[in-house]
Amino acid sequence: MKLTEDDIYRRSTQYLHWSFTAAQLAAQRLKTNIQAAERVKAAVARQRAARALKTETPNASGSENASQNGANTPLPPPDREVDCLTMAEEKRLVDNFCEKALELGDFLKLPIEVTATGVQFMRRFYLLNSPMTYEPNQISRTAIFIASKAEGHHLPVAHYAASLPKTKPEDILAPEYLITQALRFHYEVRHPFRGLKGGHLEMMAMAAGKATLPPNIPQDRDPRALQQAMLELPRRPGGPASAMSEKELEKRITEAYGFASHILKNAALLTDAYFLYTPSHIWLSAHLLADEPLTLLYLSTKCPPSNPMHAKLLTTLRSCAALLSSHHSFHPASQTEEEKAARDKKDQVELKALMKKLRLCRDPDKTNLVKLNQAQKRDAVENGELEENKRKKRKIAREQYEKEADDFFGPSLSKKENENAS
């Protein structure tokens, strides 16, 4: 049995656990938002009751406990209901902090694979958690740190923390296990970057008349005929045929690659593309936006128009392309600098208002993740969470593992000596 790339992808955690329809994605976000809003309102009610009690019966140790449990967090006035974020507002905030994570990666000069993985870790985390519960700035820094380990890019935590303003190593490490749990220990993220690079190399080979075509392509489409068809491609969909030289064609392919690469490093990471489409869908859609005639010709060498799947595939690619082009980082040629500046200014005003709203609807129990993490560790020791039965289970599991190892490899030398002595 020979596995194809599609077969391998369908066995990946990204496909099995982090791929959704648009309806499923919206339903999950709504569920997360409702649960978080209920927790915030309950926590605020508890904090108000606790503050009222402390006002009546003050004690000397109250200030220290308050700093750890979030009792000093600004709360809405007692007579006002907590105005929680809506699902759309949460998504807008997450998108904004994902952009800031991209900027952080650029500032630290991290490989794009590291930054892209960190951004996807953030998007996955906030699919199951709310910004009202966990502040995105804290999560984004740790998500990038986890991504550096997942992608094999050594980044010492002390050095990383020193590169960020007002950040200590414990600030980075405190949410690490929290994020890992939300990710379900799925560290692999499949990106479309390599697919785009491979497609670019194939197109360059086609432009040189050296393409290796699959057997399902009609016999009249030999490499030279394909090269000639590429030289006559129109500049825009529905335009007149052109008469390019081979050098001009190579330049066109390279320019399309650069534009598509920009889309993959920005819009693809900052939208729901990874949740809704496969990596091959994403890079082909980005290339479709960069140069539609060139992409359609390339696609015809993989899936001819006579194939029933061709129309379905093209519909999917256009849907993905519409999503990518909807992001503000995608700048169509028709957009002027004044229009771009006006839109950016409007976005900043809206985000400023959302950040103000977020500060008033934060979960007061989760404001300080460092102290929360320390308290959990301290309680684990003080309360003896590793009860005797847990220790016994671990001992039995360890002994079973050693027995299986002995059965396979044979007992260790020390065990053999003890057996011989007895």
Distance CA 323, CA 335 (A): 18
- What percent of the chain is modeled with pLDDT above 90? 58
Per-residue pLDDT, averaged over 379-388, amounts to: 52
28-37, 189-198, 206-215: range with lowest mean pLDDT: 206-215
Q: Could you tell me the two tokens for 184?
A: 């379900």
Backbone angles phi, psi at 61, to 5 degrees: -90, 0
Distance CA 123, CA 381 (A): 33
Is residue 204 scored above 90 in pLDDT?
A: yes
Place of tokens 């491609």: 233
Residue 40 in contact with residue 76, Cβ under 8 Å? no
Of 405 and 247, which is predicted with more confidence? 247
Is this structure's pTM higher than 0.85?
no
Position 343: which residue type? R
pLDDT of residue 405: 62
pLDDT band (50, 70, 90) for residue 334? low
pLDDT of residue 401: 65
Distance CA 330, CA 48 (A): 46
Taking Cα atoms as reference points, which of 142, 42, 30 lies closest to residue 90?
Answer: 30
Task: Give per-residue pLDDT as tens, 349-370.
Answer: 999 999 999 998 998 888 778 7
pLDDT of residue 60: 46
- What percent of the chain is modeled with pLDDT above 70? 81
Distance CA 401, CA 113 (A): 37
Taking CA atoms, 143 is separated from 118, 198, 325, in Å, by: 5, 28, 26
Per-residue pLDDT, averaged over 330-341, amounts to: 73
pLDDT of residue 366: 81
pLDDT of residue 422: 53
pLDDT band (50, 70, 90) for residue 56? low
pLDDT of residue 415: 54
Distance CA 104, CA 98 (A): 10
Task: Give per-residue pLDDT as tens, 238-286.
Answer: 888 888 899 999 999 999 999 999 999 999 999 999 999 999 999 999 9
Residue 228 in contact with residue 241, Cβ under 8 Å? no
Distance CA 126, CA 143 (A): 11
Q: Could you tell me the two tokens for 352?
A: 């400023």
Residue ranges of the domains in the chain? 22-182, 193-325, 388-422
The angle at the Cα of 181, spanning 175 to 367, to the nearest 5 degrees, equals 30
Per-residue pLDDT, averaged over 90-98, amounts to: 95
Task: Give per-residue pLDDT as tens, 149-191.
Answer: 999 998 999 999 999 999 999 999 999 999 999 999 999 999 9
Per-residue pLDDT, averaged over 278-306, amounts to: 95
pLDDT of residue 1: 59
Q: Note the Cα 157 to chain centre separation in Å.
A: 21
pLDDT of residue 412: 56
Indicate left, alpha or beta for 332 from its phi (over 0: left) and psi (-120 to 50: alpha). Answer: beta
Distance CA 316, CA 198 (A): 21
pLDDT of residue 419: 55
The DSSP annotation for 133-179 comes to TS-HHHHHHHHHHHHHHHTT----HHHHHHTSTT--HHHHHTTHHHH
**Which class does domain 22-182 fall in?**
mainly alpha
Residue 25 in contact with residue 275, Cβ under 8 Å? yes
Per-residue pLDDT, averaged over 218-224, amounts to: 71
Of 376 and 82, which is predicted with more confidence? 82
Is residue 68 scored above 60 in pLDDT?
A: no
Query: If you average pLDDT over every residue of the chain, what do you get?
Result: 85
Is residue 33 scored above 90 in pLDDT?
A: yes
* Burial category of 149 from C-beta neighbours within 10 Å (exposed 0-12, middle 13-18, buried 19 and up): middle
